[in-house]
Amino acid sequence: MASPQPTLSAAYTSITNVPFTVSLPQNPPASSTSTASKSAYLSALRTSVAALQAEVNRELTARMDEDKVRDATTAAASGKKVVDDEKDEENYGEEVQEEDE
């Protein structure tokens, strides 16, 4: 019986967002103990880790956008002021004088 294909995976769960799992199949390391085969395996693994991280970042960014819409809708419904993330980011680290409205 063949052993299962190794995978690199990450799972996300949340009480407010849809969970997701990212899995990337991996080639098992060569049975050879040569430096070249170890380097090739680690190089492929490094590439997979970067791809996994990019996919996780895309998924989390989508969920952050969903959270912003949900928070803005809730704030507007309750009459609270909505936070402007772009303005906050633009002024990050600077003391900002409030403008008269």
Model confidence, pTM: 0.68
Closest by CA to 53, choosing from 76, 73, 24, 25, is 24
Q: What is the pLDDT of residues 21-32, one digit of tens each?
A: 999 999 888 787
CA distance 26 to 100: 58
- Ordered by start, the domain boundaries in the chain are 33-78
Q: What is the pLDDT of residues 52-95, one digit of tens each?
A: 999 999 999 999 998 888 888 887 787 777 666 677 677 766 67
CA distance 89 to 85: 6
Predicted local confidence at residue 2, as pLDDT: 64
